[in-house]
Structure 1
Amino acid sequence: MNNEQPVLGKGLLAADRLAHANINPATGLATDYLNHFNEVVMLLEMLPAMPECAEDVLDWSPVPYEAHFETSTFKDKELAVMAYRAAPQKLRTHLEARVAAINSAVESAQQQIREAPDVSIAAADICEMAIQLIRPLISQASGIIHGYTAPDPSQAEGEDAQAEIDAMFA
């Protein structure tokens, strides 16, 4: 019995197999995961014209990377999970930090919706603030999936990012 963990670029995780499955062969990460966040961004963008989308925004909830694929219709979902587990820890850590920031921004927007006396009046402001935060974070997550990582953020920088999110929704 072979207990070796799969390695990116070899065997089941061969580069051509990953590329064919729309999984970055160098990182082991798939942009399909970002669809989860793009969906809520789309709902937030529709909010000013369709305040009834507020319920859909409120129904949105965070989903971890592996859980997204385990429950998705992604054709190669098992391969995506296997590749994620083989991905370099540094990349996964960077991605998870961006995902946490996205989740926090969405949760802040959801709180604003809950607290708004009239969603139709507050919708444009909620949408604008959320989009200004979430879109760049999704772009950063996409960059990580494609192999770009910024220098390791210090704890203070993480606190500053959270303070910025909190300030925009205050």
Structure 2
Amino acid sequence: MSSTASQPARTHAQTGPEAADWAERLRVANINPRTGLATDYLNHFNEAVMLLEMIPDMPECAEDFLTWSPLSYAEHFTASNFKARDLAIEAYEKADPNVRARFDQITQTLHSILTAVGTAMREVEKDQTRIKLAEQATLWVQPLIAACGGIIHGGADADVETIMAN
């Protein structure tokens, strides 16, 4: 495990009881206190995958997928009903910059893939082509979503590097 993943999310100069209180607030809100990241953000990508997975059986669901649009971490929480959304955004901003950079790199890749697939689906007319695009996109994004989950949970950098290399 990397040293950054095992450290608590960085905050001002919090120590002692202040740091313990911050960690408890994060834990209660379902935000990982070690990374400062919440798995709720993955729902943004899981929604897109769910729609893509429906396309082979119901090609008309491609239209639903085409309404999906990329949201940053802060945009997702701002638009969500997540009870501790302000805390989630604050914890993300205070997270270790190295952890956040790796996380952001993967989420940008996810956004790029899903946006490109949406563009391609808009340009084709045959359901069979849209089905192939949906199937391929699902194979590309699922491991990346898993990598994001690994980062959120403080997984080893080697695991993330392996996923990103494939």
TM-score interval, smaller chain: 0.7 to 0.9
Deviation of 1:111 (Å): 2.0
Q: Residue 36 in 1 paired to residue 52 in 2?
A: no
Letter in 1 for 2:104: E
TM-score of the superposition, structure 1-length normalised?
Answer: 0.80
Q: Which moved more, 1:4-13 or 1:49-58?
A: 4-13
CA gap 1:19/1:8 in 2 versus in 1, 3 angstroms: farther
Aligned residues: 152
Asked whether the equivalents of residues 33 and 69 of structure 1 are also in contact (C-alpha less than 8 Å), the reply is yes
Matches of residues 1-170 of structure 1 in structure 2 within 5 Å?
5=12, 7=14, 10=18, 14-118=22-126, 120-150=127-157
Query: What's the Cα RMSD here?
Result: 2.6
* Amino acid in structure 2 at the alignment position of 1:116: V
**Could you say if the C-alpha distance between residues 124 and 14 of structure 1 is closer, same or farther in structure 2, counting changes exceeding 3 Å?**
same
- Give the drift of 1:112: 2.1
Separation in 1, partners of 2:157, 2:121: 32
Equivalent position amino acid for 1:23 in 2: I
Query: TM-score, with normalisation over the residues of structure 2?
Result: 0.81
Of structures 1 and 2, the one scoring higher in RCO (CA 8 A, sep 6+) is 2
Q: 1:57 to 1:111 in 2, by over 3 A?
A: same
Contact 2:59 2:131 in 1 (8 A): no
Identity, % of aligned positions: 44
Paired residue secondary structure (1:138): helix
- SS of 1:95's equivalent? helix
> Tell me, which stretches of 5 or more residues in structure 1 are unaligned?
154-159, 165-170
SS in 2 for 1:42: helix
Letter in 2 for 1:138: I
